Chains A and B, each alone.
Chain A
């Protein structure tokens, strides 16, 4: 081991507009060591790593490689310092083979020879114990194989400082174990490895040291051998912050939406939701907590009729008629025609909830344009609605005929939420409704959700900030890797309890994936 760390960060600060993504972060990794960077969503882990790999440039602070100060301006610079990053979203060409992807962009001055390149990659792959067919096309590969290609690509370029951004988010437990074995071998080979994650058990089983970030701030670094899950959770979630979001007692909660045994697969055939059951009640805010990508999106989309679950029931209890309808595998239009008043604020605001190039009035019509028997649109009501939303929610816009694309994030969200609640829903689902919003706008959204709750609406709120979930919701459903890992009372639970539930999934995961495999065999 060398005396100097392979890479050291001192006082790194990066801001995007008014948002401080990294605030004075210090970090060091030695050769022959695996460092975990732990933090919740939005704690600035990826931003920090992007500065090491040349995608962003820090506002302040310095980076040292082997004790020398360096300036990294581009991914090319990063390669020069033998830094390689495996991004969460793979940068691979689908119709190319693994070997072709590895060779892409190489200018090694040698004559191009794909075979030779494949042989060299094969040697690297064998050295570290990867299992990969280099002639296979990317589109035929599983996610874990694609990840392997990305890692070999980085190693092929001679990287000895490796950064992996949430490498296990998309892997099964068995694949994760294989990856960890490979990473340990690389560590023993003298490479410095940084792995971004928010799964505690992985941190404890894999890394030598852990650095924790919380809301962009550096919390501290501990040796894995000297810590435990509880301490790490505490560091990661931070002290409880009181937000003063009002919360009333639910009045006469009744089952409104009952989900039973929902299973859902994505297009690639990977199971996203495993046997999900819960109920959402009227006059109550049900929070959904979980690491991003644990199946929240698919769950809400399945309820809204945008995903087709393989099995299970989505039962809607109609408060007017008392009828119970199964919404599973109905189209959004069929759901409406059943008289279900379901509102949905999707995560992807401008890509799904709104049309960016249309003005506010036309966006108001998205839900209601079918009204009336004539073939023509009536813009009168949407215009009134737009104007009242602009007034009531203090939307900052020149006028109601401004394209939504030109509004700021908070104002876009106000328009979307305003429209969704204007149809007096009986169920309101909101995915990350305050993401990217400033404090004021966030509170406007919280108040709106609370008003809906008081009106007897069953509100489902998917959030990432545990403090908000704890203060806003009545019950919190915790989802981990597509399983419900717990449903807790928001008034009595703690951040730590939720944090542990979010990352707990291990036992379920193994059990579930075995089940998944037998399913596939049948």
Chain B
């Protein structure tokens, strides 16, 4: 009789952690989320353009894949995004939140620029290229190793540290942009070695993007093998999953952190090299173009699997290109693509919840017991 006071109301459902979802179910959930996102994005676009939704999707395809030039451009953008995503992945697998890829790419790019400008007329081209490769890799790696060193020794928060490192290198780039600016004082470096093309990466088959794409394709496979089949990759997984287990089997955690971030930064350095020496032949503070941040999404969406990253980075680049086309065709602003990308990522991030958790609805058995 006193019970009525104590009858706490039980919520309609409660959230419980799932054991595990079969892989195909997990991907089905993600696919559904993507579909829902595309529909939602279509609706948003419809309200802004009043166009036939099918027309909108067709425009996206056209924008991304419609012409040979667009396909090459998509390939180049995909390659660069994928390259940077590959770079951040080993660190993420280790649960080291490196959001400084943007800066590490710039560090590599800046090193490349320095070589091209300072050594362009002093070294034979093959030696010059070699020096560029080495310095850009080292520059990217050092930019990643600085926060890693403090993380390993004093557990300094790496998310915030790497974030700050981005802006330091951006200012350094701006600084050197004035030092090396053409014409003097403009703050623009302009195309480096336009006449001699010293330090420019060679074109393959007349396609200026092909070399980048090939290099990134090779990197993707190497990274996949490294993470899945090498002893280092295995150690990264163990440290990421449980530092206690790592200690138990005698892994030197500090060493793994430094080694992994060296690798992470080095690949970013390569991305910087490809961007500066391969395609842009110049550097600005926006050379990385936000890819350092987008790469985090790509890597995370692919569950840190380099092969899936090909798909997820394609998805993102496709969306960006497609949405840009929509904005051009329907007279919208360029930034439309960021909005669409954002919406779709929200949906996919949200869908992870349904893979990890399940909703358990109120059972009436419990009520009966009370």
Contacts and interface: CB of A to CB of B under 8 A. Distances in A.
B249 A367 contact: yes
A74 B248 contact: no
B244 A376 contact: no
A346 B234 contact: no
A376 B229 contact: yes
Interface string B331-370: 0000000000000000000000000000000000000011
A72 B225 CA distance: 56
B241 interface: yes
Contacts of B242: 351-352, 355-356
Given A77-B8, A406-B19, A369 B234 contact: yes
A366 B249 contact: yes
B3 interface: yes
Nearest to A335: B250
Contact of B241 (A57, A68, A332, A358): A358
B370 A375 contact: no
Given A77-B6, A77-B8, A332 B245 contact: no
A370 B8 contact: no
Contacts of B237: 355, 358, 362
Given A333-B250, A352-B248, A375-B232, A71 B20 contact: no
Interface of A: 57, 59, 68-74, 77, 304-306, 331-336, 344, 346, 348, 351-358, 362, 365-367, 369-370, 375-377, 403, 405-406
Nearest to B235: A369
A3 to B, nearest CB: 20
Nearest to B3: A71
Contacts of A77: 6, 8
Contacts of A352: 242, 244-245, 248
A70 B252 CA distance: 55
A242 to B, nearest CB: 36
Contacts of B20: 403, 405-406
A405 B21 CA distance: 12
Contacts of A70: 2, 6
A147 to B, nearest CB: 27
A357 B241 contact: yes
Contact of A351 (B2, B231, B245, B369): B245
B247 interface: yes
Contacts of A370: 231
A59 B369 contact: yes
Interface in B238-268: 238, 241-242, 244-245, 247-250, 252
Contact of B244 (A71, A74, A348): A348
In terms of DSSP, what is the predominant structure of the interface of chain B? helix
Interface residues of B, number: 27
Contacts of B234: 362, 365, 369, 377
B7 A71 contact: yes
Nearest to A379: B229
Interchain residue pairs A-B with the least CB separation, the first 7: A333-B250, A332-B250, A71-B6, A355-B241, A352-B244, A73-B8, A352-B248
- A74, A332, A376 pick with most chain B CB within 10 angstroms: A376
A414 B94 CA distance: 28
A375 B2 contact: no
Contacts of B225: 376
A376 B233 CA distance: 9
A228 to B, nearest CB: 41
B229 A332 contact: no
Contacts of A334: 250
A472 B237 CA distance: 38
B248 A346 contact: yes
14 contacts: A71-B3, A73-B8, A331-B252, A352-B248, A353-B245, A355-B245, A358-B241, A362-B237, A366-B249, A369-B234, A376-B225, A377-B234, A403-B20, A405-B19
A334 B6 CA distance: 60
Contacts of A367: 249
A146 to B, nearest CB: 24
B248 A306 contact: yes
A332 B245 CA distance: 11
Nearest to B19: A406
B231 A369 contact: yes
B94 to A, nearest CB: 13
B141 to A, nearest CB: 19
B230 interface: yes
Given A365-B234, A369-B234, A405-B19, 9 more contacts: A70-B6, A331-B252, A336-B250, A348-B244, A352-B242, A355-B238, A355-B241, A355-B242, A406-B20
Interface in B89-132: none
A377 B232 CA distance: 9
Interface in B202-247: 225, 229-234, 237-238, 241-242, 244-245, 247
Contacts of B247: 306, 332
Nearest to B366: A57
- B7, B231, B252 pick with most chain A CB within 10 angstroms: B231
Contact of A74 (B8, B231, B370): B8
Contacts of B370: 57, 71, 73
Contacts of B2: 68-71
Given A73-B8, A355-B238, A375 B245 contact: no
Interface in B308-352: none
Nearest to B232: A375
A353 B248 contact: yes
Nearest to A76: B8
Contacts of B241: 355-358
Nearest to A60: B369
B19 A376 contact: no
B369 A332 contact: no
B173 to A, nearest CB: 35
A125 B241 CA distance: 44
A158 B273 CA distance: 69
A420 B230 CA distance: 23
Contacts of A351: 242, 244-245
A331 B3 CA distance: 59
Contacts of A57: 369-370
A452 to B, nearest CB: 20
B365 to A, nearest CB: 11
B237 to A, nearest CB: 7
